[in-house]
């Protein structure tokens, strides 16, 4: 294998360059950005929910799939967390944590089975699950269920010394996923399957099992994200996760992960999430009109995708 040359425009690097650029710009644009309290919000707390869900989305996308059901799953799981406390006051934090994580994994299993066993295209399969879950939520509850107690909210609001607990929560899970994806044989298989299923299968990789496992991991991570979000919102409701699937895809794409599968670093997803988090904070600090915000967000996405597409085209050209 040829040793890769290092370039700032490499997708795995570009996201971090973009991140540093936006940090520097924010610091210059408004001094409030550098206030410790603001930095703590923007780096350590606000990115946690989207960060965890985007890690899941990234694993699935790298395996060659996509998950459109994340938003509905977040709505369902946070609602159930609220519902558990409503119906069983005094339930332990650990029990709720385990139930929500398990339910997330089951949703992942469902998605995985539709894709692997019924051979439904991932986009359609997970779009269908989205609709099924959304319907299910409305049967379960039409209203937001609040009232999650402080003990559970510790996950989102508590601190260990000066460090917010939720940051540690994200950091540990991120480290585990990073090791799994970048340092294990399983991770290599996942990339191989995402890049080319047929080639992967003739090299002896159990393609179906690998694909299924990607959805399981994705579902688990959605569950873990929902645990944080339920704590952060103090409850859940039928609409609270709306649009989350698109946000995770945006973060993952900005992070340099190819939607075609098999390419990109999982860490990029976190970079993408941080960029979105800082961007949103900056827009608030500068008091930018909401319509302009949407427009600028689109421009960031296009810039990232443009860089990556140009890079891929060039790489393909060199191969030929």
Partner 1 sequence: MKKGLSLILITLLMLSLGAAVFAGGQQDAAGKDEFVIGWSNAGMGDSWRQFLKANFEAEVAANPEIVKYYISDANERPEKQIADIDDLLAKGVDGLIIYPTVGDAIIPAVERAYESGIPVIVFGGSINTDSLTCLVTQDLYEFGRSQAKWLAEELGGKGKIIMLSGIAGNTTAEERLAGAREVFDANPGIEVLDHQYCDWSAAKTKTIVEAMLNAFPEIDGIWADSGLMSWPALQAFEEAGRKLVPSTGDQLNGYAKYVSEKNVPAYLYPMSTRLSAEAVKVLVAAMKGETVDKKVAASFEGMGPEAIKKFVKPELSDWWWVGDDQMPAEFLPRL
Residues that bind partner 1 (CB under 8 A): 6, 8, 13, 16-17, 19-20, 23, 32, 34-46, 49-50, 78, 137-138, 142-147, 153, 156-157, 162-163, 229, 231-240, 242-243, 277, 280-281, 284-285, 287, 290-291, 293
CB of 148 to partner 1, least distance (A): 9
H/E segment holding residue 159: strand 159-160
H/E segment holding residue 164: strand 163-164
CB of 314 to partner 1, least distance (A): 19
CA 183 from centroid of its chain's CA atoms: 20
CB of 157 to partner 1, least distance (A): 6
CB of 53 to partner 1, least distance (A): 11
Rank residues 242 and 311 by Cβ distance to partner 1 and give the closer one.
242
In angstroms, the CA 100 to CA 235 distance is: 13
Rank residues 3 and 185 by Cβ distance to partner 1 and give the closer one.
3
Name the nearest CA neighbour of 76 among 142, 4, 136.
136
Neighbouring C-beta atoms of residue 210, cutoff 10 Å: 22
Helical axes 93-116 vs 207-233, angle rounded to 10°: 140
Rank residues 157 and 208 by Cβ distance to partner 1 and give the closer one.
157
H/E segment holding residue 60: helix 48-62
Rank residues 44 and 66 by Cβ distance to partner 1 and give the closer one.
44
CB of 173 to partner 1, least distance (A): 17
Task: Give the phi and the psi of residue 159 in degrees, each rounded to 5.
Answer: -130, 145
8 Å CB contact between 307 and 72: no
Rank residues 10 and 263 by Cβ distance to partner 1 and give the closer one.
10
């Amino acid at each position: 294998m040829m040793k890769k040359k290092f370039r700032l425009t490499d997708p795995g690097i570009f996201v971090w360059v973009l991140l540093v650029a936006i940090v520097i710009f924010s610091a210059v644009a408004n001094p409030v950005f550098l206030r410790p309290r603001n930095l703590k919000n923007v780096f350590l707390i606000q990115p946690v929910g989207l960060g965890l869900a985007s890690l899941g989305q990234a694993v699935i996308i790298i395996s060659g799939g996509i998950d459109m059901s994340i938003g509905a799953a977040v709505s369902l799981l946070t609602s159930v967390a609220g519902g558990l406390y409503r119906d069983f006051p005094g339930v332990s934090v650990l029990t709720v944590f385990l139930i929500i994580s398990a339910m997330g994994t089951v949703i992942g299993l469902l998605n995985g089975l539709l894709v692997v066993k019924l051979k439904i295209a991932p986009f359609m399969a997970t779009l269908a699950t989205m609709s099924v879950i959304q319907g299910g939520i409305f049967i379960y509850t039409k209203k937001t269920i609040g009232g999650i107690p402080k003990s559970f909210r510790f996950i989102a609001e508590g601190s260990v010394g000066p460090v917010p607990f939720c940051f540690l929560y994200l950091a540990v899970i991120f480290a585990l996923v990073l090791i799994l994806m970048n340092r294990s044989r399983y991770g290599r298989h996942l990339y191989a399957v995402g890049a080319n299923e047929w080639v992967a299968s003739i090299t002896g990789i159990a393609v179906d099992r690998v694909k299924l496992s990607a959805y399981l991991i994705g579902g688990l991570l959605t569950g873990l994200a929902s645990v944080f979000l339920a704590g952060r919102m103090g409850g859940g409701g039928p609409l609270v996760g709306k649009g989350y699937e698109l946000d995770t895809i945006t973060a993952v794409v900005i992070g340099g992960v190819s939607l075609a599968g098999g390419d990109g670093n999982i860490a990029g997803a976190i970079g993408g999430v941080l960029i979105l988090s800082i961007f949103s904070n900056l827009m608030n600090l500068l008091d930018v009109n909401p319509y302009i915000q949407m427009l600028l967000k689109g421009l960031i996405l296009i810039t990232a995708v443009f860089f990556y597409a140009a890079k891929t085209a060039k790489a393909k050209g060199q191969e030929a």
